[in-house]
Structure 1
Amino acid sequence: MADKKKILFWPDVYKEQGHWLPTLAWADYLSSLEEDGEKLYSIAFMGIMDCKQIVDDYNAANGTDFFYYPIFTKTYPEGYTAQVQATTNERWKSDHIMSLVYARFDDEDNMKDAGANESQVFEALSLRNFLTNDETDDDYYPDFYKGLDESAKDAFENGLDKCRNPDLIVSGFFTSMETAILYHLSQNGDDFNEDMKFAISTTYLRHPSEDPATRVLQNLNGFNDYQQRMLLNIVMPEDVDMDELEKEPEKSVEDFILPLTNLDEFIPCPKVFDYSHYEHGPKVHYVEPCINKELALPNGESPIDNWEDFLAEHDKIVFVTAGSQILDYKDKAVILFQSIIDAMQASDMNGYHLIICAGSTLVQELSSDYENVTICGWAPQHTILSALAESKHNGSCAIIHGGLATIKECVYYDVPFLVLPLGKDQMDNALRLEDCGINNRFHLEYIKPKCLRYFINQILQDYKSRLNLKKLSGVFHKSEESHIGANAIAHLATNGTLDGFEW
């Protein structure tokens, strides 16, 4: 049997679960593919230390053992995402881009001559340790390695050996610039695999003009002319002239982004849910919705020991979540949660039990002594939605923010749900639901004791919307069972192209 193909997922620099979870669904399926009793693919993930928890929690809950390689540990030390509450653009630092650029060199002195500081040298050599065949000593293993016991170190080194120098990197839309750099490094960098292939996972329904190349141009606006010249003069030439790094590059920004236009892009959502007038190029593929298995719940963030028993005890449930990036619209989320807590005390909400999933930070700002209210940092969303779909829970519903991941789960489980957009792409997603004949959008000002039951009844009794939801759920189930995206990734890793793949 031929050597296993190595597939590396790098969904995002930042910890946004919605960008990571679909890739875990692909990874889970790919890890199950075998020939003659041998697994066909080695699967790994790469990202900052804070994102390691997502993969660890998935492994813990599902018995998988996906290897995780932490990167940019100096730029984004463990705890960064909890400490930094800022806009998406403010979270992103240019330092990590230059660390990736300096990975072009296999020599520490060349990195420093090109302008790398000590942290960037460490991060660049650590990257090379994973992405190339140039094995450095363990001084350049990720920082967390030093704190492991001998058994854990052996396991890490074993995983590193199995996954080093990947054949295919599936990166995220929001790491498009990093993907362009890696592509050029694979063609020009010392010890990089020139046959390395790339693909992009886009975990939201983007406008056709907002393609990965356009995303890179936006990122480049954050660099001054000097930095742009340095970047292009290091990653693009076949031979780097250390004396010419500050001069006008021979190749242009257009040359830099051109490879992105030829990469396959996977959108984990059936096309029927997107706007019908959106037309992408032939390299963009709508695939299965990637409905994930459950992640292990963080310790101490769930007040319920046995969720199955808890859900069985309550017939009518209102489940409320505002997504994993709740701090991006914290004030609106607090108003949402508190308003629903208050509304639950109206007499016409008798018999209902409210479950609020508020996130690990915001849960500390909410409190309730009401018996019909349960407030969690995190809750097993799949378990809850699956239960609400059962006939026992007729009259139950979910109230969500409108993020694509949670919409897909509500549709998949055919659970009546209301959408209250709080920001980002959520209003667009609510409008897409209306295009599909599902009228379930409402506004924050309507969450009052006398209004909440009215809107719940509206969505429960809107039989046209319920029928359209059931139809859409059927499409999602059929698409999910096809594993079309995961199979395409497997074909790409094995053959280097999607030519001949049957869609």
Structure 2
Amino acid sequence: MARVMIWPDIYREQGHWLPCVNLANSLHSAGYTVNFMGIPDCSDIISQYGIPQSPILASVYPSGYSFENKLEPIDQRWKPHHLLPICRGELDDIFLGPSAPDLLISGYFTALETLIIHRKYGIPFIIVTTYLRHPDDTPRLHAKTKLVYMPRAVSQKIIDAVSPAPGLDIDQFIEPLRDRLELIPCPRAFDFTDDDWTHGDHVKYVEPMIERQWLGGGPLPNDPTDIPTDKKLIFGTSGSQVQDYEFKARQFFSNLIAMMSTHEMDKYHLVLAVGDKLLAQLSVEYGIDVDRHNNRLPKNVSLFSWVSQLDILKRAEVVFMHGGLATIKESIWEEVPIVIVPHGKDQMDNALRIRRSGIGVVSEVADLTPQQLRGLFTAATSNKWIRQKLAKMKALFQVEESKAPKPSIQLIQSVVAP
């Protein structure tokens, strides 16, 4: 039975990890043995699904790193600090010996790390890209950019440490990433179809990888959030990378909270997933830290660090979001109209995809008043065409998800058989 190791991201980015939980279940069903590896802060993402995870790089990224940036340069989330330890054998226990994996499935954002592992241990690998990247933004370019922007002496030390002979230049070193099989867990129908938006033949759109279950089947624990059942839900999120645009996200959440005090919004209940840091800040701002029950937060609003989005979306009338692909796919799956207020990164492109596909409404202004947000809410929930477009897009998603074997598994089997 072939062993597969999955490494979705170095950091705690649920939008990158959760699609790989779906992939892990598909691999398990196809006869593979599946394991994850990740820094300590990522363990609880995986453990609730019964999937084993090998902890790595704990000396570089100790528990709590995701919530308190402890390394320099300040505010730069990706660090080079872990690369040389990998070169020196930090992962020997995983990739050497009789239980070493036969295949590494790695996220786009770990392309350089995966290349180092491939060079050092000779393990085959596949890339999973959990966002809709531009055709020019290849994993190869991503790895090269990291090497180019570190001191030349450091990049050459990394290259020489895992190459068969010293002296390779950067382009020679990254060559194994050229035309490497790359899976994009989203049906092609949601991406741009312009003539200049074409990937190479090695890049494959596959099933959306949305639903998750306990490895091998069985129910998941119930989401422990205490949310009223007698009101229609509105869901709001800025995703798992909220620290990258903290000011915008906080303003977005504050205005959504204020929206819930406008006319006739007492019929609805707003559920906000705001992340650990903003939850602490908003708890102070609204007096929740002093009294959980008698405070300045409107009674029709609940704040959480993180929730099971699929559970919430099953009941939601609309989702206000930043524009991350994982939340968009889950909203399509549950046919929930989308209000997208992009905060940055690929979210601008995703807003355009939402507009083109007709499955929601888009704001081009990040700093919206409560009244403007209320107007977007009305526009999203009162438009029957949005519901029809959502149903059509979900049907396309279901076609890919229901294929047997799944498109991803067929492609993985072409690299390493079960």
Q: How does 1:317-336 map to 2 (within 5 A)?
A: 317-336=233-252
Is the 8 Å Cα contact of residues 297 and 378 (structure 1) preserved in structure 2? no
Matched, 1:293 2:185: no
If asked which structure has higher relative contact order (CA below 8 Å, sep 6+), I would say: 2
Q: How many residues align?
A: 395
SS at match of 1:181: helix
AA partner of residue 28 (structure 1): N
- Deviation readout 1:354-412 (Å, 9 max, x if unpaired): 21122222112223442222222222211111223xxxxxxx21111111100010011
1:146 is matched with none
Is the 8 Å Cα contact of residues 4 and 103 (structure 2) preserved in structure 1? yes
Matched, 1:431 2:352: yes
Q: CA deviation at 1:431?
A: 0.4
Q: How many Å separate the matches in 1 of 2:73 and 2:206?
A: 29
Q: CA deviation at 1:89?
A: 7.8
SS at match of 1:69: strand
Matched, 1:454 2:356: no
2:322 is matched with 401
1:225 is matched with 152
1:129 is matched with 93
Q: How many Å separate the matches in 1 of 2:82 and 2:73?
A: 18
Q: How many Å separate the matches in 2 of 1:72 and 1:445?
A: 39
Shift in alpha-carbon separation, 1:376–1:226, aligned structure 2, 3 A:
closer
Matched, 1:492 2:410: no
Q: How many Å separate the matches in 2 of 1:88 and 1:410?
A: 34
Q: How many Å separate the matches in 1 of 2:210 and 2:39?
A: 24
Q: How does 1:438-449 map to 2 (within 5 A)?
A: 438-442=359-363, 443-448=365-370
SS at match of 1:379: coil
AA partner of residue 12 (structure 1): D
Q: How does 1:164-203 map to 2 (within 5 A)?
A: 164-187=99-122, 196-203=123-130
Matched, 1:380 2:347: no
Shift in alpha-carbon separation, 1:467–1:216, aligned structure 2, 3 A:
same
AA partner of residue 369 (structure 2): I
Q: How many Å separate the matches in 2 of 1:184 and 1:420?
A: 41
1:364 is matched with 280
Q: How many Å separate the matches in 1 of 2:391 and 2:369?
A: 26
Q: How many Å separate the matches in 2 of 1:445 and 1:90?
A: 24
2:24 is matched with 27
AA partner of residue 51 (structure 1): C
SS at match of 2:272: strand
- Based on CA coordinates, which of the two structures has the bigger radius of gyration? 1
Q: CA deviation at 1:74?
A: 1.1
Matched, 1:422 2:343: yes
TM-score by length of 1: 0.74
- Deviation readout 1:201-220 (Å, 9 max, x if unpaired): 11111111110111111010
Q: How does 1:27-66 map to 2 (within 5 A)?
A: 27-33=24-30, 40-59=31-50, 66=51
AA partner of residue 166 (structure 1): P
AA partner of residue 265 (structure 1): E
Which one of the candidate residues 213, 216, 222 is aligned to 2:140? 213
2:192 is matched with 275
SS at match of 1:44: strand
Q: CA deviation at 1:456?
A: 1.7
Q: How many Å separate the matches in 2 of 1:492 and 1:237?
A: 24
4+ residue runs over 3 A deviation: 85-89, 294-299, 443-447, 450-453
1:353 is matched with 269
Q: How many Å separate the matches in 2 of 1:27 and 1:342?
A: 41
SS at match of 1:200: strand
TM-score by length of 2: 0.88
AA partner of residue 92 (structure 2): R
Is the 8 Å Cα contact of residues 294 and 382 (structure 1) preserved in structure 2? no
Percent identical pairs in the alignment equals 34
Q: How many Å separate the matches in 1 of 2:24 and 2:322?
A: 27
Q: How many Å separate the matches in 2 of 1:55 and 1:32?
A: 17
- Deviation readout 1:302-329 (Å, 9 max, x if unpaired): 651xx5xx33x21x22111111121221
2:401 is matched with 480
AA partner of residue 81 (structure 2): D
Q: How many Å separate the matches in 2 of 1:303 and 1:10?
A: 29
Shift in alpha-carbon separation, 1:217–1:424, aligned structure 2, 3 A:
same
AA partner of residue 181 (structure 1): I
Shift in alpha-carbon separation, 1:372–1:294, aligned structure 2, 3 A:
farther
Shift in alpha-carbon separation, 1:348–1:267, aligned structure 2, 3 A:
same
SS at match of 1:320: strand
2:255 is matched with 339
Q: CA deviation at 1:460?
A: 2.0
Is the 8 Å Cα contact of residues 433 and 439 (structure 1) preserved in structure 2? yes
Is the 8 Å Cα contact of residues 5 and 104 (structure 2) preserved in structure 1? yes
Q: CA deviation at 1:16?
A: 1.0
Is the 8 Å Cα contact of residues 411 and 469 (structure 1) preserved in structure 2? yes
- Deviation readout 1:242-286 (Å, 9 max, x if unpaired): xxx6xxx1x322221111113100011111111112101111001
- Deviation readout 1:121-159 (Å, 9 max, x if unpaired): xxx2xx1111011xxxxxxxxxxxxxxxxxxxxxxxxxx
AA partner of residue 489 (structure 1): I
Is the 8 Å Cα contact of residues 67 and 276 (structure 2) preserved in structure 1? no
- Deviation readout 1:404-463 (Å, 9 max, x if unpaired): 100010011111121111122111101011122335112344432x43333222112223
2:290 is matched with none
AA partner of residue 98 (structure 1): L
Which one of the candidate residues 2, 16, 19 is aligned to 1:5? 2
Shift in alpha-carbon separation, 1:89–1:267, aligned structure 2, 3 A:
farther
